[in-house]
Amino acid sequence: MGRKLDPLRKVARGPGRKAKKQQGAETELKKILVEDIDAKRLSSRGRKRAAKRRLVEEKPSAGKPIPKQNGKVQAAATGKKPIRGFSDDNSVWLKPVKRARTEQETASKEVEEESEEEEEQSEEEGDKGQSEEEDAGALSMSESDDLQDDFGGSSDEEDDEEAEEGEELLPIEKESAKLKQKKLKKKLDGEKTQDSEESGIQLNVDSDELFQLPSAEDLEKELSTGPDLSTVQERIKDVVGVLKDFSQRGGASSRQEYLGVLHKDLATYYSYGDFMIQTLSDLFPVSELVDFLESCEVHRPVTVRTNTLKTRRRDLAQALINRGVNLDPLGKWSKTGLVIYDSSVPIGATPEYLAGHYMLQGASSLLPVIALAPQENERLLDMCCAPGGKTSYMAQLMKNTGIIVANDMNAERLHSVVGNLHRLGVTNCIICNYDGRKIPKVLGGFDRVLLDAPCSGTGVISKDPSVKTNKTLQDIQRCAHIQKELILSAIDSLDAQSPTGGFLLYCTCSITVEENECVVDYALKKRNVKLVPTGLDFGKEGFVRFKERRFHQSLRLCRRFYPHTHNMDGFFIAKLRKFSNSIPAAPAGQETENPDPAQPNEQKEGGAASTTKGAQTNTPKRDPSKSPKQGPSKSPKKGPSKSPKQGPSKSPKKGPSKSPKQGPSKSPKKGPKKTFGKIKSKTAKGVQSKTKKSFKRKSK
Amino acid sequence: MRPLTEEETKSMFEKLSKYIGENIKLLVDRPDGTYCFRLHNDRVYYVSEKILKLATNIAREKLISLGTCFGKFTKTQKFRLHVTALDYLAPYAKYKVWVKPGAEQSFLYGNHVLKSGLGRITENTAQYQGVVVYSMADVPVGFGVAAKSTQECRKLDPMAIVVFHQADIGEYIRHEESLT
């Protein structure tokens, strides 16, 4: 294969025709390159020096023809091709050939000729270059030295030296030198002034730090003219800055004045009502408050929850991506959530949605169900279920086993519950339309209860901006009152003896303390429940003390979620457990109060003192004010007095108050015999530990 | 809430058998517990006995729904299947129709399935046989009645109706109020 080596065949050695040509080109290139280097060397200063050189030359040999050199130097300096024509003495009469001939030739020929001419030219240039070099050599050795130095890089000192050689300079050059010096001076001056300017800025900052509060008149004026949002924003920033570092920058005005101005500004800038601003500012430190308000202006990302009864998240994600939806998994804590960034189709009407493969649901409303952690074959109650998102999530976690009672007070909203549950293929649900406060009379013995209480919605301002101005203290109190009733009835419908639980999950989409910590604290006082960890590893702890209120220490176990820290709607979650042992006694005692929910509320709210059962466990540690009273009364109770007290209280109360249908038959029978021993021991323990705590607290 | 009467049971089972034939047996005798049909507010609910027992505690006017709603009896005592029954029809369906992606949307808006949108159809489907409609991704999207037998479908013109629409999952949005 391939060519055989033929000894007879001689291969031409050495450079071929093309090679030769290339060599020629090389030599020519070299010339050009040399020129280039020259061009490089002769920078602006080089030019000057060349001019100087010229002068020096001129003086001794005035007879030498200047134009020639001039042309050369210029050409070299600008790096352009030299002027056409002949540069030697004959240039006067000799003319380039081209000009004479071009017009007569055809276009095509012209091209060829031009190239030829260029060759000629380059040859000429080569000659010139050589001659130039020779000339330069002839001129003076010192100058050439200079040139070489220049090549390495000019220094200012040289320039100065040159400037000193004033006698040798032309007037123009002198002026240029002057100019240069001026510039230099200016530069130095400028630096100085800049410095001073900077210091001036520094000064300005200093003066800004002493931020002046607008006077009352200013504010009035602003009100009459209508506030300028940009100035308001500016002022918010300033005031927040001052408040952050008040001890340093406080100035003459008091903190209260600053806060007053800030609240007013925030209210105008974000268009809140005064009450809401006040409530929110009680919850957050100043800087966080601004963050919160800012994040309430932005919508939270759309999230969906995969319905694992019908599909898997991976399949769903693929199907949605194929529809042009841009999505991502929600977070480490959720195995079913997806965040939708953008979508080319309405996400609430895709065939996948209609087929029940997913549910549109905020990230924050996944949390309570995760925290509730329903188990298979349990009996669950969702007290306020509309529109059925959490309910269906519960069914999904239970894999459609067990029973879920989904209740909502509003019959209108139940339509969507029915639709959603059927669409998602949930079959273990009973949907009913009771008032949540009456549920314990109808149904009871639930293993877990989810109470997503109706609330003022201060956590979801981004969804419903009307909250900003609509809500008043009364609204919040009204909500809180309903919530207290609901949480009690939720606890009453729990079965504490359930082998898997007896858990209540209380959540609201509000962030006010009145609707959250207060309600839970109230439940702790009124019923035999305790707080347990939610099982969520993020979120902020609940408040233990808030303004004048002091709550039970275990309220730390609650979780709060904020839009600005967790990028989900504002949310509150508390997980409570009904003590298993105290069922016979405690609920019996509570049952007496059960009627309350239906009745007017004052009894309940005011009646904290009347809680007999509360005394045995929770109240002492929580209420410092009460502890003196109860502390002593309790400690004797601990051992002997407890059982007698519980015994009687339970039996008479339970009979009448509880509805005949459900639990009662079992609890009175079972309760006393079986659990009594346990109760004693456990409650005793509980009381002991608690009393210890309370004593500690007292001592503090 | 009460059990169905003889007549009601008959008319409902007749309707169901159009879609799932003798597979009705599987609905009634389930290995995972007893399930029964109950009538509440003219609607028929298919529900496990366990749930049923708990639901008996709830007052009639307060009970909205339980288990799965299969359909309702009209004023003339005819039984009408709702789309909510699809979850039970689809797994047991004897005759199926698959619609092409383009026609899927049209079907979800309540239109009949045309020949042009017909992807596949079960062999030997008789005329006026109840069929469950699937998307090409095998997701059940509704049910209807075959307008033509499989044989006739082959030589239909593209705009002819193949399946009469009865219910589709678009109703979850369109008729949310009337589902209960």
Band of residue A644 on the pLDDT scale cut at 50, 70, 90: very low
Strand partners, A339: A303, A328
Q: What pLDDT shows up at residue B169?
A: 94
pTM: 0.65
Q: What pLDDT shows up at residue B107?
A: 94
Give the separation between CA A69 and CA A132, rounded to whole angstroms.
8
Q: What pLDDT shows up at residue A141?
A: 45
Contact A354 B51 (CB under 8 A): no
Contact B63 A431 (CB under 8 A): yes
Backbone φ and ψ for A22, nearest 5 degrees, come out as -60, -40
Name the token pair of A390: 């959490």
A to B CB pairs, distance under 8 Å: 94
B141 closest CB neighbour out of A355, A425, A428: A355
Give the separation between CA A74 and CA A42, rounded to whole angstroms.
10
Give the separation between CA A410 and CA B103, rounded to whole angstroms.
38
Catalytic residues of A: 509
Angle at A638 between CA A633 and CA A642, to 5 degrees: 95
Name, in order, each residue with C-beta under 8 angstroms of B20's C-beta and a sequence gap of 6 or more. B27, B89, B92, B93, B94
Orientation of helix A255-270 relative to helix A229-244, angle to 10°: 140
Q: What is the pLDDT of residues A143-194, one digit of tens each?
A: 444 444 444 444 444 444 444 554 566 777 777 877 888 777 776 665 555 5
Q: How many residues appear in chain B?
A: 180
Give the separation between CA A424 and CA B172, rounded to whole angstroms.
10
Q: Does A125 touch chain B (CB under 8 A)?
A: no
**Contact predicate B35/B47, CB 8 Å:** yes
Measured between beta carbons, which residues in chain B are less than 8 angstroms from residue A443?
Answer: 54, 57-58
Q: What pLDDT shows up at residue A230?
A: 87
Q: What is the pLDDT of residues A60-96, one digit of tens each?
A: 554 444 444 444 444 444 444 445 555 565 665 666 5
**Contact predicate A593/A604, CB 8 Å:** yes
Q: What pLDDT shows up at residue A30?
A: 62
- Which helix or strand (DSSP H or E) is residue A466 part of? none
Contact B170 A416 (CB under 8 A): no
- Calculate how close chain B gets to A354, using CA atoms only, in Å: 6
Q: Does A695 touch chain B (CB under 8 A)?
A: no
Instruction: Taking residues A606-616, report their average pLDDT.
Output: 36
**Contact predicate B167/B143, CB 8 Å:** yes
Residues tagged in the binding site annotation of A: 384-390, 408, 435, 452
Residues tagged in the binding site annotation of A for S-adenosyl-L-methionine: 384-390, 408, 435, 452
Report the candidate in B40, B67, B41, B59 with the shortest Cα–Cα distance to residue A421.
Answer: B67
Q: What pLDDT shows up at residue A424?
A: 95
Residue of A nearest to B87 (CA): A425
- Indicate the average pLDDT of chain A: 71
Kindly give the pairing relationship between strand A302-306 and strand A429-432: unpaired
A25-39, A123-137, A218-232, A432-446: segment of lowest average pLDDT: A123-137
Contact A419 B176 (CB under 8 A): yes
Give A133 or A171, the one with higher predicted confidence: A171
Using CA of residue A546, residue A551, residue A554, residue A560, what is the dihedral sign?
negative
Measured between beta carbons, which residues in chain A are less than 8 angstroms from residue B64?
Answer: 411, 414, 417-418, 431-433
Strand partners, A380: A404, A448
Q: How far apart are the first and last CA of chain A?
A: 103
Give the separation between CA A272 and CA A277, rounded to whole angstroms.
6
Q: What is the pLDDT of residues A347-370, one digit of tens each?
A: 999 999 999 999 999 999 999 999
**Over 70: is that where the pLDDT of B158 sits?**
yes
Contact B66 A430 (CB under 8 A): yes
**Over 50: is that where the pLDDT of A218 sits?**
yes
Contact B57 A355 (CB under 8 A): no
Name the token pair of B121: 């159809």
Measured between beta carbons, which residues in chain A are less than 8 angstroms from residue B139?
Answer: 351-352, 355, 357
> Where would I find the H helices in A529-670?
563-566, 586-591, 595-598, 602-606, 612-616, 619-622, 627-636, 642-657, 666-670
**Contact predicate A517/A506, CB 8 Å:** no
Measured between beta carbons, which residues in chain A are less than 8 angstroms from residue B105?
Answer: 351
Q: Does B55 touch chain A (CB under 8 A)?
A: yes
Chain B, residues 151-170, CB within 8 A of chain A, namely 169-170
**Contact predicate A374/A398, CB 8 Å:** yes
Give the separation between CA A690 and CA A694, rounded to whole angstroms.
6
Q: Does B27 touch chain A (CB under 8 A)?
A: no
Strand partners, A388: none
Name, in order, each residue with C-beta under 8 angstroms of A390's C-beta and a sequence gap of 6 or more. A365, A368, A369, A382, A450, A452
Give the separation between CA A500 and CA A447, rounded to whole angstroms.
7
Contact A405 B137 (CB under 8 A): no
**Over 50: is that where the pLDDT of A458 sits?**
yes
Give the separation between CA A577 and CA A557, rounded to whole angstroms.
12
Measured between beta carbons, which residues in chain B are less than 8 angstroms from residue A430?
Answer: 51, 54-55, 58, 63, 65-67
Give the separation between CA B141 and CA B96, rounded to whole angstroms.
11
Q: What pLDDT shows up at residue B2?
A: 92
Q: Does A360 touch chain B (CB under 8 A)?
A: no
**Contact predicate A48/A162, CB 8 Å:** yes
Q: What is the pLDDT of residues A273-326, one digit of tens each?
A: 999 999 999 999 988 999 999 999 999 999 999 999 999 999 999 999 999 999
Instruction: Taking residues A528-536, report their average pLDDT.
Output: 92
Report the candidate in A300, A532, A614 with the shortest Cα–Cα distance to residue A542.
Answer: A532
B173 closest CB neighbour out of A354, A417, A443: A354
Instruction: Give CA separation, A471 vs A270, A410, A461, in Å.
Output: 15, 21, 11
By CB atoms closer than 10 A (0-12, 13-18, 19+), residue A331 is: middle
Best mean pLDDT range from A17-21, A239-243, B76-80: B76-80
Name the token pair of A679: 């109760």
Band of residue A210 on the pLDDT scale cut at 50, 70, 90: low
Strand partners, A576: A504, A531
Contact A662 B57 (CB under 8 A): yes
Q: What is the largest CA-CA distance in chain A?
A: 140
Name the token pair of A160: 């100065």
Give the separation between CA B52 and CA B1, rounded to whole angstroms.
10
Q: What pLDDT shows up at residue A499?
A: 87
**ipTM score here?**
0.96
Q: What is the pLDDT of residues B64-98, one digit of tens each?
A: 999 999 999 999 999 999 999 999 999 999 999 99
Q: What is the pLDDT of residues A477-517, one digit of tens each?
A: 999 999 999 999 999 999 888 888 789 999 999 999 999 99
Question: Any idea what DSSP says for residue A408?
Answer: -
Q: What pLDDT shows up at residue A29?
A: 55
- Which helix or strand (DSSP H or E) is residue A521 part of? helix A517-526
Residue of A nearest to B135 (CA): A351
Give the separation between CA A334 and CA A449, rounded to whole angstroms.
21
**Over 50: is that where the pLDDT of A394 sits?**
yes
Band of residue A5 on the pLDDT scale cut at 50, 70, 90: low
Q: Does B86 touch chain A (CB under 8 A)?
A: no
> Where would I find the H helices in A429-472?
439-442, 467-470
Contact A419 B137 (CB under 8 A): no
**Over 60: is that where the pLDDT of A680 sits?**
no
Q: What pLDDT shows up at residue A388?
A: 92
Give the separation between CA A700 and CA A541, rounded to whole angstroms.
23
- Which helix or strand (DSSP H or E) is residue B78 part of? none
- Calculate how close chain B gets to A619, using CA atoms only, in Å: 36
A465-469, A500-504, A601-605: segment of lowest average pLDDT: A601-605
Backbone φ and ψ for A97, nearest 5 degrees, come out as -70, -35
